[in-house]
Structure 1
Amino acid sequence: MSDFFSNGWSVFIAVTTVVSIAACLLLLIVASKRKVMAGDNTTGHVWDGDLRELNNPLPRWWMGLFVLTIVFAAAYLVFYPGLGSYQGKLGWSQATQYQAEMEKARAQIEPLYARFEGMNAEQLVQDPQAMAIGERIFVNNCAQCHGSDARGSKGFPNLTDTDWLYGGNHETIMESIAKGRHGVMPPMAAAVGGAQDVRNVAHYVLSLSGSPHNAIAAQLGKAKFGACAACHGADGKGNQALGAPNLTDKVWLHGWGEQAIINIITNGKDNQMPAHADKLTPAQIRVLAAYVWGFSNGPAASTRTVNAQ
C-alpha cells in the first residue's frame, strides 16, 4: 500500500498531462504544415484505382480555437492544481473552497440563530420559526435513517416515543447529535451457556415485557440472565449511561420474538449513529435537538397522546 502514497504517482500524472498537451500542440503544427501533393487538392493517395484522398484543411477559426484551448490548459495548470501534487500559484483546493463557502453560509445564518440562543427546549418547540428550521435540518440530515415522520424502522430508533437509550433530555440529545453514538452488544452465547440456555434466556427477556413466552423456559433462563445484568440491570430496565436498552418495555429496536432475541444473544449487535458536529453548527444542533425533543415532549406529543386515548 505504501506505493499509493509515494511521489511516483504525482510525477506520473504530471508527466502524462504535460505530454498529452504537447502532443496535441505537435499534432496541430504537423497538420498545419501538410502540403497538397497534387494540383487537384488530393494527397496523392489512390485506392481501388479511382478513390482519391482529398486534402481539406481545417478552418482557421477552428484551428484558432484549438490553439486557445491548449493555451488555456497551460495557464490553468500554472495557477490551479492539476500536475500531480503541484498546488498551483493561487493555492486553490476543493477543501479550502468548501471551507470558505461554509464559513460564508455560517456568517449569514448566525443572526437568525442568535434569537434562539437564550431559549430553552420548551420555548423552542413553541416557536414556529425554530421548529420550521429544525424540520428542514431533520429532513436533510436525520430522515434518511429515522424516517420523515421520525418513527424509525428496524435498527433505527423511533424518536416519537419516550424510549431513549441514552436519555431524552435536550442536552443529551444535543450530545447524541454532535458526537454520535456507538452501541455495541458483544456475543453472549458462550457466557450464557449452550443453545438451550440461550433459548431460555430469550423467553425470560420476553417475560420481562409481558410478551407471549414459555413460562418454564423463562424460569430456567432467569438464572442465566445474570450474564446480561451487567449492562441491562438485574431488573432488565437497562442503563442509559451505557446505552443498554430497557428490556421491560415492548420497544424492540432490532426485531421482536424468540428468534430475534436468540440471534442478538448469539451474534451480538453493533449499531452506530454518525457524529454531526462537523456538518452542523452548535446553534443548528441546539435547534435540531429541540425539534427532536418535541416529538415526545412538545405539543405534537400531547396531540398524539390524546388521539391514542
Structure 2
Amino acid sequence: MTAGWSWYVIALVTLNIVGCVWLLWWTARRRPGDPKPEDTSHVWDGDLTEYNKPLPRWWINMFYLTIVFAIGYLVWYPGFGNFAGVGKWTSQVEHDRDAARATATLEKTFAPYQGQPIDVLARNPQAVKLGSSIFGNTCATCHGSSGKGAIGYPDLTDDVWHWGGSPEQVLQSVLDGREGVMPPWGKILGGMAGADATDYVIAHVRALGDASGNARGDFAAARGKTLYEGVCVACHGVDGKGNQALGAPDLTDDYWMYGDSREALREGIANGHHGIMPAHRALLGETRARLAAAYVWSLSHSASGGKAE
C-alpha cells in the first residue's frame, strides 16, 4: 500500500471512530428545556402516549465498550493503514500455518502409497478413489469430470496416448507436464502449391486413415503426399503413425483432438496448435501425482491390467 493510500485509510478509520463517539455522546445527553419523557404531547385514542426516553445507560456503555474493542483490535491487528499491528498478524502467515497442518494430515493419508507403480495403484480401490478426488480437484477443469476431454484436451479414457501410454510415461506427463507444438504451415504450403495446398495435405491425411486404400489414387491425395513428405513427415512419419517422443499424433486412427472436420484440419495445418499440459510435481507432490496418474490409468485399463471395455 502506498503512503498516500495508507494515510487515506488512517484518516477514514479515525473519522469513523471519532464520529461514533461524538454521535453517542450527542444523542445520549439531555439538554435544558427538553420535555420530560411523558411530555411529548403525542397522545392517541386518549391513552396511547409516545415517550421520549433515552437508551439505558448500560446500553450506551456497551456501545462505548464496542468502540474500545475496535481500537484494541486495530492496535493488535493490521487495519490502520500501513501499521502492521502489535501482534504482527498477516493472512500469509495464517495461510502458511493452515497449509502446513493440512499438508501434514494429507501426508499421513498418502504415505501408504508412496513410490508404488501406478499400474499397481490402479488395482487398489482405495488408491483409485483418492486419485479420483485429486483428479476432480486438479485435472477435471481441462479433461472433464469423466476424463473424456474436449476440443484441444485429450480423452483419457481411450487407448490413444500422444506422449505414450505406459505407466511411466503417464506419470511423467502428470509430474513434468507436456508441451506439444504443431507449427503453422499455411504460408509455406501455399508457397509450394498455391491456395489449395492445405486441402491437398488434408486429402493425403484422409487417405492415410483409409484402410481400403481407395483414396490414395486420388489426384488431391497424390499431390498432398508430396507436400506431406516435404513438411510433415519429420514429426508424423512417412506412414502417419506419429512420434510419441515429440507428442506428434497418429494420423491414421479416428481420434482428432482438435476436431476432424475439414475446417478444423485446415485450421490446424494452416495456423498450427500449441497445447500445454502443466507440470504438477510442485503442486501435488510425487505421491499425489502418482495417485492421480493411477486413476487416469484405471480409466483405460481394467482391474486385471488389461484394456478396459
Partner of 1:133: 130
Select the residue among 102, 106, 116 that pairs with 2:103: 106
Q: How far apart in 2 are the matches of 1:118 and 1:64?
A: 64
Select the residue among 236, 243, 250 that pairs with 2:240: 236
Partner of 1:208: 208
Select the residue among 27, 34, 37 that pairs with 1:31: 27
Select the residue among 14, 19, 35 that pairs with 2:15: 19
Partner of 2:221: 218
**Contact 1:41–1:54 (CA under 8 A) maintained in structure 2:** yes
Q: Which amino acid is the alignment partner of residue 294 of structure 1?
A: S
User: Any idea what the Cα deviations from partners look like across 1:167-204, whole Å, max 9, x if unmatched?
Assistant: 22333333332344343434321121143111211222
User: Which ranges in structure 2 are unaligned for 5 or more consecutive residues?
Assistant: 41-49
Structure 2 counterparts to residues 157-168 of structure 1, below 5 A: 157-168=154-165
Mark the CA change 1:104 to 1:224 in structure 2 (over 3 Å): closer, same or farther. same
**Contact 1:122–1:298 (CA under 8 A) maintained in structure 2:** no
State, as a whole percentage, how many aligned pairs show the same letter.
40
**Contact 2:301–2:308 (CA under 8 A) maintained in structure 1:** no
Q: How far apart in 2 are the matches of 1:108 and 1:58?
A: 52
User: 1 or 2 for the larger relative contact order (CA 8 Å, sep ≥6)?
Assistant: 2
RMSD, aligned CA = 3.1
**Structure 1 residue matching 2:289: 3-state secondary structure:** helix
Select the residue among 54, 68, 73 that pairs with 1:71: 68
TM, length-normalised to structure 2: 0.80
Q: How far apart in 2 are the matches of 1:267 and 1:64?
A: 73
User: Any idea what the Cα deviations from partners look like across 1:193-233, whole Å, max 9, x if unmatched?
Assistant: 14311121122222222289793222212222222334334
Task: Single out whichever of 231-240 and 191-200 deviates more from structure 2.
Answer: 231-240
Partner of 1:151: 148
Mark the CA change 1:174 to 1:67 in structure 2 (over 3 Å): closer, same or farther. farther
Structure 2 counterparts to residues 243-258 of structure 1, below 5 A: 243-258=247-262
Partner of 1:290: 294
Deviation, structure 1 residue 123: 1.9
Give the structure with higher Rg (CA). 2
Q: Which amino acid is the alignment partner of residue 184 of structure 2?
A: P
**Structure 1 residue matching 2:274: 3-state secondary structure:** strand
Mark the CA change 1:100 to 1:217 in structure 2 (over 3 Å): closer, same or farther. same
Deviation, structure 1 residue 261: 0.4
Mark the CA change 1:152 to 1:78 in structure 2 (over 3 Å): closer, same or farther. same
TM, length-normalised to structure 1: 0.80
Q: How far apart in 2 are the matches of 1:59 and 1:240?
A: 81
User: Which ranges in structure 1 are unaligned for 5 or more consecutive residues?
Assistant: 45-52
Q: Which amino acid is the alignment partner of residue 256 of structure 2?
A: W
**Structure 1 residue matching 2:232: 3-state secondary structure:** helix
- Matched pairs, number: 293
Structure 2 counterparts to residues 111-126 of structure 1, below 5 A: 111-126=108-123
